[in-house]
Amino acid sequence: MGQTLRSQHPDRCITPFRDRHSPGSHLDAVGTYRGDVFDLNDRIALVTGAGQNIGAGIARALAARGATVHVNDVVAERAQQVAVAIRQDGGRAEATPFDVTDLDAVATAVAGIGPVDVLVANAGNGGVGGLPLAPFRDLSPEDWRRIVDVNLFGVMNCCHAVLDGMVERAWGRIIGIVSLAGTMGTRVGVTPYSAGKGGAAAFLRSLALENARSGVTANAVALGLMDTGNPTSLTGIAKGIPVGRLGTPEDVGAICVYLASEEATWVTAQTIHLDGGTSPT
Ligand SMILES: NC(=O)c1ccc[n+]([C@@H]2O[C@H](COP(=O)([O-])OP(=O)(O)OC[C@H]3O[C@@H](n4cnc5c(N)ncnc54)[C@H](O)[C@@H]3O)[C@@H](O)[C@H]2O)c1
């Protein structure tokens, strides 16, 4: 049991927070965080769709905390550029291009990486073909399938490839990047996208519960509108964000660092809204 520390005030004794908390806590003897909080050294991370924008921000953030990051994108040159930039900044990163909708390609790539500790399933939007903004009545079944394919099956394919290893090693972090379009709904013309994102969040929730005793957590981060070059038809939404600005890749990187960390071990089966206050709970 921990000793009692005497504070500067002679009448007050402080029981170390670590001893009130849990063994091996990330808190030091006087209850302040040690410098290595959210340390991702020795972790191997795979971030899908990380060749630009949000995924690139996530990859940079994980690498900055010490992770070795496999930068995935279906466009190999994008993955390569992000990996090179992270290495130039002193981080550890490899380009690992594949298409998340191709189950065999995902399995082969993950086998090539070896153990994956952290999966951030970020690849989404409209996938390779782009995201049409159109009423459901004007969309074709091919559009629905293509969009659900990347936003839902892409996530499932990647989880399937990494999960056995995480369970065997009794440690893993799975983070899916979803959207308010999938949790709240929207009328901007993205119904298949909403279906894919809502499906991914629901999938991750049950996956988390199914594996909750295994040391593997799974969570979804539902993003509001981000500053990633949106069509002008969406600028009206930006004005309504309570904090008064769009989200950034750095905002998403920060929450992914936390969810990937040892400290987030009790956070699982959640859909966390990262949206500048757009959807108060
Ligand atoms: N931008 C927003 O406002 C916003 C809002 C909510 C949620 N999101 C979600 O955040 C994530 C990232 O968004 P973004 O704006 O950075 O996207 P983006 O379209 O700018 O970048 C996505 C990257 O994923 C890659 N990609 C597409 N299909 C792929 C596939 N099949 N396999 C591997 N890589 C593939 C693309 O080549 C691209 O480099 C997506 O899941 C998106 O749905 C974005």
DSSP string computed for 242-266 = TTSS-B-HHHHHHHHHHHHSGGGTT
Q: What is the pTM of this model?
A: 0.90
> Residues near 205 by Cβ (< 8 Å), separated by ≥ 6?
218, 220, 269, 270, 271
Q: Are 23 and 72 contained in the same domain? A: no
Q: What is the pLDDT of residue 233?
A: 64
Q: How far is the CA of 193 from the centre of ligand 1 (A)?
A: 12
Q: Are 159 and 245 in the same domain?
A: yes
| Same-domain status, 211 and 253 | yes
| 110: in domain | yes
Same domain? For 92 and 161 the reply is yes
Shared domain for 19 and 78, answered yes or no, is no
| pLDDT score for 9 | 41
Ligand 1 centroid to 54 CA: how many Å?
Answer: 7
Residue of the nearest CA to atom 36 in ligand 1?
49
**Nearest CA residue ID for atom 25, ligand 1:** 49
Q: Which residues of the chain have pLDDT under 50?
A: 1-24
Same domain, 88 and 4: no
Residue 81 within any structural domain of the chain: yes
Q: Is residue 63 part of a domain?
A: yes
Ligand 1 centroid to residue 127 C-alpha, Å: 7
Residue 156 lies in a domain: yes
**Does ligand 1 have an atom closer than 6 angstroms to the CB of 186?**
no
Quick one: 32 and 110 in the same domain? no
Looking at residue 33, its pLDDT comes to 60
Q: Please report the pLDDT score of residue 190 as a whole number.
A: 96
Q: Indicate whether 216 and 260 sit together in one domain.
A: yes
Instruction: Give the CATH number, domain containing residue 143.
Output: 3.40.50.720
Query: Are residues 229 and 95 located together in one domain of the fold?
Result: yes
Q: Decide if 106 is inside a domain.
A: yes
Looking at the 3D structure of the chain, how many domains does it have?
A: 2
Report the C-alpha gap between 137 and 228 in whole angstroms. 27
Q: Which atom of ligand 1 is the closest one to the Cα of 54?
A: 16
> Domain range holding 30?
1-37
The reply to whether ligand 1 has any atom less than 6 angstroms from the CB of 226 is: yes
d(CA 185, CA 196): 12
**Same domain flag for 75 and 145:** yes
**pLDDT score of 232:** 66
**Each residue of 142-169: pLDDT tens digit?**
999 999 999 999 999 999 999 999 999 9
DSSP 174: E
Q: What is the pLDDT of residue 21?
A: 43
